[in-house]
Amino acid sequence: MTSQSALIVDNVSFRYRDRQGVAIHQISFSAEKGELLLLAGASGCGKTTLVRAINGLIPRSYKGELSGKILLNGQDTAGMPLSRISQMVGTVLQDPERQILGTKVINEVAFGLENMGLPRAEIFARAEQALDYLNILALRDRETFNLSGGEKQKVALAGVLAMRPSVLLLDEPLASLDPASALETLAMVRRLADEGLTVVMVEHRVEDVLNIHPSRVMFMSEGRIRYLGAPAGLMEAVDYHEVKLPAAMIARRAAADPAPARMSFLPGVKRGEAASGDSSNAAEFALVRFENVAFGYESGREILHGINLEIRKGDIIAVLGPNGAGKTTFVKHAIGLLKPKSGRVLVNGIDTHAASVAEIASTLGYVFQSPSHMLFAPTVREELAFGPKNLKHSAPQIEQQVKSSLEIVNLVDKENDAPLSLSFGQQKRVSIAAILAMRSKILVMDEPTAGQDYKNYLGFMDAILQLPGFEAILFITHDVDMAVIYANRVILVADGAVQADGSPQQVLKDYALLRACRVVPTSLLDLNLELFPKTGEFMRAEALGHVL
């Protein structure tokens, strides 16, 4: 550490006032001007707590026991007001819903500059410069409410960059981005560091970040630093079950371990086949049907058009596509939150125009992209019990459903915690558990892996897909590997229309179409297509190690 370091964290520990145990313990490191530091680790390991300590929210907003020192450009932050720290440290949160306050994009990006008391002309010049830097100037006059999750994340980042901080903290910045946007964001982060900005990037998508050559990697576990050093050393220092490494590397390391058990998904359904592949007698088996559906939030601007498809018993569907393509809008029609402007949606043969959201919920459970749109109860247990109670489940049923749902998402020890006090990744798992507890026939999840470490998301997805009772599962995702590992059907959505619908092997082998839809092939997809003549199915990297 040197006094000239942009950021120095010296022996910092913190325990939240309302929780047992230390969240971070004796954390020490420094970051130089122009350094890009990747911070990785399991959900709940202390990464977000460390970010809060650096940006001053601890102990000013989050109370507890704090020890150690944090220096920004050589200045101790202990006596600084938050307004001063925020001019030196810019933070982009995991969940942009928590960060965006303005109704219009330009107002949101200008908000921090207005609080700095800058002249009006300079405010708008810097706001537009930040939007242009991120290639989103076209969003300038859009309403923030109508933006996609990925677009909101870019707007939040623009608001931070407009303030020109010396240290940038990115907390899961890729969580809501489509693969092509993630690559663009990573290239932009690399550019920011090359231009002299100090960047600390918290990210579960380790493989993607390694491609932009971070200066160093820090791996945390249980509130402590377990590894801090060159990216090359991370590969052997961490458990490949916990961190998502390149597929070939996972396969190589897994080959020395016992072969993983073969998974069976949705009893009676073959992993490699989409149940909807057989179009005969479709009317009898369709759980949900879209008939020439069109929709737009604003008059004259259509988000969806010409949607014709069915969700049928046994389907495990991955919906892929770019930010703003209409994926979430499409799914919200299935649960009745949105009604078509033309065409119709049938759930169990009933037009959603004639059914309430509550009536549809007994058939179709929906996990929102942003957990803050769902969570409200004082404790995790009460959150999970709310849905089953409203569906008139018995007390013993509710008790069992809450318990098993907590076990599936690995949150048994959090049942008495306030949901909104948890990390974003843990909140996401609470929102999934809340829907699991309702035991709907169809499970729909919007970005279920956002904010999740590799081990947790494999664990809960494995458990969910083996649960009895689900007739179909659909998940919107930007994680191509999720589609590779779990789906038996892939729907590719772009420009408000279905561009492809078929088995993963059929849809994902067309790299030209994927790239046209801003979906980027991964190392796992590459390896599966290479080995497909031998395997006859798509497999996770750990299993491919035993094929190689």
For the 276-363+440-519 domain, the top CATH level (class) is alpha beta
Express each pLDDT in 41-93 by its tens digit.
Answer: 987 889 989 999 999 999 999 999 999 999 999 999 998 999 899 889 999 88
Strand partners, 342: 294
Residue 317's identity, in one-letter code, is I
Token pair, residue 484, equals: 């590779």
Left (φ > 0), alpha (ψ -120 to 50) or beta: where does 169 sit? beta
Residues 48, 20: Cα–Cα separation, whole Å: 17
Token pair, residue 38, equals: 């990747």
CA 458 to chain centre: 14
CB 408 within 8 A of CB 401: no
Residues 393, 263: Cα–Cα separation, whole Å: 30
Token pair, residue 249, equals: 């590397």
CB 108 within 8 A of CB 155: yes
| pTM score of the predicted model | 0.81
Cis peptide before 59 (omega within 30 of 0): yes
pLDDT in tens, the chain (548 residues): 555 789 999 999 999 987 778 999 999 999 999 999 999 998 788 998 999 999 999 999 999 999 999 999 999 999 899 989 988 999 988 777 778 888 899 999 999 899 888 999 999 999 999 999 888 999 999 999 888 777 888 899 899 999 999 999 998 888 777 888 888 889 989 999 999 999 999 998 898 999 999 999 999 999 999 999 999 898 888 888 888 889 998 999 999 888 877 665 665 555 545 444 444 444 456 899 999 999 988 767 789 999 999 999 999 999 999 888 888 899 999 988 999 999 999 998 999 999 888 888 888 989 888 888 889 899 999 999 999 998 889 999 999 999 999 999 889 999 999 998 887 778 888 999 999 999 888 999 988 887 778 888 888 888 888 877 789 999 999 899 999 999 999 999 999 999 999 999 999 999 999 999 999 999 999 999 999 999 999 999 999 998 87
Q: What is the 3-state secondary structure (H, E, C) of 524-539?
A: HHHHHHHHHHHHCCCC
Inter-CA distances, 387 with 254, 382, 478, 521, Å: 40, 9, 28, 38
> Where are the domain boundaries for CATH 3.40.50.300 in the chain?
7-238, 276-363+440-519
Residues 291, 289: Cα–Cα separation, whole Å: 6
Residues 322, 447: Cα–Cα separation, whole Å: 13
Residue 178's identity, in one-letter code, is D
Where do we find the tokens 């043969």? 349
Nearest Cα neighbor of 517 from 537, 496, 503 is 496
CB 231 within 8 A of CB 36: no
Residue 428's identity, in one-letter code, is K
Q: Pick 7-238's CATH classification: 3.40.50.720, 3.30.1330.20, 3.90.1170.10, 3.40.50.300.
A: 3.40.50.300
- Which positions ≥6 away from 142 have C-beta within 8 Å? 104, 105
